[in-house]
Amino acid sequence: MHKKFLPLYVTCSLFALLFAAGAVQFENFGSLRVFMNLFTDNAFLIIAAIGMTFVILSGGIDLSVGSTIALSGVIISVLMQNYGWHPLPAFALVLVLGTLFGASMGAIIHYYQLQPFIVTLAGMFFARGLSSVISEESVPIMHSFYDDVAMFGFELPGGAWLGSSTIIALVVLALAIWLANFTRLGGRVYGLGGDAQSAALMGVPIARTTISVYALSSFMAALAGIVFSFYTFSGYSLAAVGVELDAIAAVVIGGTLLTGGYGYVLGTLFGVLIMGVVQTYISFDGTLSSWWTKIVIGLLLFVFIALQRYLVGRGQKSR
């Protein structure tokens, strides 16, 4: 076993353990159907958390994710319902706007040397504010294209369903793994998060990398907003409140180091799945209340951060 994959193994085993525990306790838990539902219900979170992974790998943080999801949903639904746009150009516009939004946050962070968390906090206010200015009420989406997309999918054995959202999330996952580990940008992101100064000395273009990372995160959030709208069939300015925290939690539980420079996109997928399993477990149980989800996620966060400290501390001593 390679030592650098240890946190990834811990995350994957924890997921398997939780899923097995549920399967032993409840009759229908251990099925492909429940497993696939984890993807269907959390597809948007998987996409947003993958974007967040890149930001955290680079040593930053993006608090604007949740409100970017809401904003893209609101823009899409208003363009379609009030201006009669076809969904596809609306999607394209939202993705471009999202990328520009993230790029400007990245530019402010880099050129004015401001802390990522306060800049993206302002971005969070901005996106949330803009979406409530565009529409305060929830805008329903009615379009045959949406019905087609929502219906699209493949029947798997055991009544499981591989739907369009899951397919999008899996494609994004594959592309993100390629981007992180097999491209030049990926290497630069790891380098920037590991040690910005050394990275700069080794010729990593800090400005371009920082801006790309935040642009990517907001692009992913806008895409997550599109997938979220397949799920809710509406755009609402107060949707997806606090998703940024879920995304950060998923990244940390997925084994990515919060100080940057170390972690894997695949871990983030399992981070989301672990949170999904906890939620499913609680809803199967029926007697536990839903707020236990938050407490369990908080505890998991704590355990994984403590594990990170332990591993990092040991690494420094052995050096």
> What residues line the site for other proteins (CB under 8 A)?
61, 108, 111-115, 117-119, 121-123, 125-126, 128-130, 132-133, 136, 245, 248-249, 252, 258-259, 289, 291-295, 297-299, 301-302, 305-306, 309
Return contacts of 201-210, CB within 8 angstroms, 24+ apart: 206/110, 207/107, 207/110, 207/111, 209/58, 209/185, 210/58, 210/60, 210/106, 210/109, 210/110
Q: Do residues 38 and 277 lie in contact, with contact meaning Cβ atoms separated by under 8 Å?
A: yes
Select 34 or 119, whichever has its Cβ closest to other proteins. 119
Cα–Cα distance list, 165 to 75, 87, 144, 151, 171 (Å) = 19, 16, 17, 10, 10
Helix (H, G, I), strand (E, B) or coil at 203: coil
Select 97 or 170, whichever has its Cβ closest to other proteins. 97
Select 150 or 301, whichever has its Cβ closest to other proteins. 301
Select 16 or 299, whichever has its Cβ closest to other proteins. 299
Select 136 or 147, whichever has its Cβ closest to other proteins. 136
Nearest approach in angstroms of CB 259 to other proteins is 7
The span from the CA of 48 to the CA of 292, in Å, is 23
Nearest approach in angstroms of CB 274 to other proteins is 14
Nearest approach in angstroms of CB 124 to other proteins is 8
Select 33 or 294, whichever has its Cβ closest to other proteins. 294
Nearest approach in angstroms of CB 87 to other proteins is 26
Nearest approach in angstroms of CB 156 to other proteins is 33
- Which residue stretches of 195-290 are H helix? 196-201, 206-232, 243-253, 265-285
Using the structure block, give the residue that is written with the tokens 């170390």: 262
Nearest approach in angstroms of CB 236 to other proteins is 13
Instruction: Determine whether 216 is exposed, middle or buried from the number of CB atoms within 10 Å of its CB (0-12, 13-18, 19+).
Output: buried
Nearest approach in angstroms of CB 132 to other proteins is 5
Selection from 257, 95, 61, 234 nearest residue 168 by Cα: 95
DSSP one-letter code for 5: G
Select 177 or 305, whichever has its Cβ closest to other proteins. 305
Q: How far apart are the first and last CA of the chain?
A: 20
The span from the CA of 256 to the CA of 271, in Å, is 10
